[in-house]
Amino acid sequence: MTILANARLILADTVLRGAVSLSDGTIAEILPGDRVPPGALDMGGDYLAPGLVELHTDNLERHIRPRPGVDWPHAAAILAHDAELAGCGITTVFDAMRVGSIPNDGPDQDYQKYARELAHELIALRERKALRISHLLHLRAEVCSETLIAELDEFGPQDRVGIISLMDHTPGQRQFRDISKLAQYVQGKYKLDDAGFADHVARLRALRDRYGDAHEAAAVAVAHRLGAVLASHDDTTADQVAVSARHGARLAEFPTTPEAAAACHAHGIMVMMGAPNLIRGGSHSGNVSAADLARAGHLDILSSDYVPSGLLAGALILARLWDDLPRAMATVTANPARAAGLADRGRLEPGLRADLIRFGMLDATPVLRETWVRGLRV
């Protein structure tokens, strides 16, 4: 048995000075008080919280393709990604992998097929116990593509896909309602002139017109067949949210307007926003501010999105905004665990998985000191 003593325990509705005992990979007991029993580990008054649960991150994609046109060996990329997340306090991650490709060169070169091969390698490393934290699959179904249905059909129950999200990055709507924001991103990344960018936009819109509806229906069907949580992505209007609700979505990733976020709650759909949006003070695509949704009570879950260290930092910003540390920490622990159907983690309670983090504060910045997964320090 391991005892972590003299800590500030972030519980569901309070912060308690006390200790946590861990046994056989689970939380055995919560003990109040600042006493350090013989043999216990003294946390020195630091915070102890549940391990962070990440539902949507592009971080693995960043490791396998660190630059446009540069492919990195997958096993090395997965192991580096795993270590990075553990070092940021993330103990459960749904690794987001795009399904749906555009076989082409130029600005579409980042839309080649990769998910099935990468998932095989991730699962193999998991089975060999080479990973520090818990990795699950999140398939990002890109409806604006050529190959979505065929790629989805490569996944089955044995893959234990946890989340399927409906992605539609067609220029001129959702995340990229403002074409100028898309132009700034794409032309800067791929060094396109205006004519090249116009051709890129035309190709994507033609793909959406040709395949979009069939792809969306297929992704919904596969999510139900595999028992995966269905997530919407970048919903902008109440009508779009209503469609997502009819599809059976339980989670809304990054709604782009206050109207859409409010509609999600009206339909019982949990709202997830990006921690970078919160930390930077706004969306890099010009969409709704996560802080504004938090003030309105329409933010349930944070995602690190493209900056793993942002997850804990974002939660601490919410704690100051709400003046409620337990509520804020729930957006990166209990709430994402519940949204994903993981009833065995996300809270400091006896009987749950012993996934924990220890952190202190350097002024307003959290400093992660230790991470435990199933009671083992990683």
Q: Do 126 and 152 belong together in one domain?
A: yes
Q: Do 193 and 146 belong together in one domain?
A: yes
What per-residue confidence (pLDDT) applies to 136?
Answer: 98
Q: Do 148 and 231 belong together in one domain?
A: yes
What per-residue confidence (pLDDT) applies to 187?
Answer: 60
Q: 290 φ, ψ to 5°?
A: -60, -35
Task: Evaluate if residue 288 carries a pLDDT over 80.
Answer: yes
Range of the domain at 234: 52-344
Mean pLDDT value across residues 297-309:
97
What per-residue confidence (pLDDT) applies to 249?
Answer: 98
Mean pLDDT value across residues 298-327:
97
Task: Dump strand ranges (E) for the chain.
Answer: 2-10, 15-23, 26-32, 41-42, 47-50, 52-57, 90-99, 134-142, 161-167, 229-233, 251-253, 270-274, 301-303, 356-362, 365-373, 376-377
Mean pLDDT value across residues 80-104:
94
What per-residue confidence (pLDDT) applies to 242?
Answer: 98
Task: Evaluate if residue 104 carries a pLDDT over 80.
Answer: no
Mean pLDDT value across residues 16-21:
98
Residue 10 belongs to domain with CATH number: 2.30.40.10
Residue 272 belongs to domain with CATH number: 3.20.20.140
End-to-end CA gap in the chain = 17
Q: Do 161 and 270 belong together in one domain?
A: yes
Residues 6+ apart with CB under 8 A from 71: 64, 65
What per-residue confidence (pLDDT) applies to 189?
Answer: 64
Question: Given pLDDT bands bounded at 50, 70 and 90, which one contains residue 368?
Answer: very high
Which tens digits make up the pLDDT trace of 166-198? Answer: 998 676 566 666 666 666 666 656 667 777 777
Q: Do 190 and 63 belong together in one domain?
A: yes
Q: Do 91 and 223 belong together in one domain?
A: yes
What global pTM score does this model have?
Answer: 0.91
Task: Evaluate if residue 337 carries a pLDDT over 90.
Answer: yes
What per-residue confidence (pLDDT) applies to 144?
Answer: 84
What per-residue confidence (pLDDT) applies to 110?
Answer: 56
Mean pLDDT value across residues 100-129:
83
Mean pLDDT of the chain, nearest integer? 92
Number of domains in the chain: 2
Q: Report whether 46 contacts 369 (CB < 8 A).
A: yes
Q: Do 330 and 367 belong together in one domain?
A: no
Q: Do 190 and 109 belong together in one domain?
A: yes
Mean pLDDT value across residues 111-134:
95
Q: Do 322 and 293 belong together in one domain?
A: yes
Which tens digits make up the pLDDT trace of 239-281? Answer: 999 999 999 999 999 999 999 999 999 999 999 999 999 999 9
Q: Do 275 and 366 belong together in one domain?
A: no
Q: Report whether 378 contacts 57 (CB < 8 A).
A: no
Look-up of token digits 């019982």: 268
Task: Evaluate if residue 328 carries a pLDDT over 60.
Answer: yes
What is the C-alpha separation between 232 and 213, in angstroms, rounded? Answer: 15
Question: Given pLDDT bands bounded at 50, 70 and 90, which one contains residue 341?
Answer: very high
Q: Do 176 and 233 belong together in one domain?
A: yes
Q: Do 377 and 289 belong together in one domain?
A: no
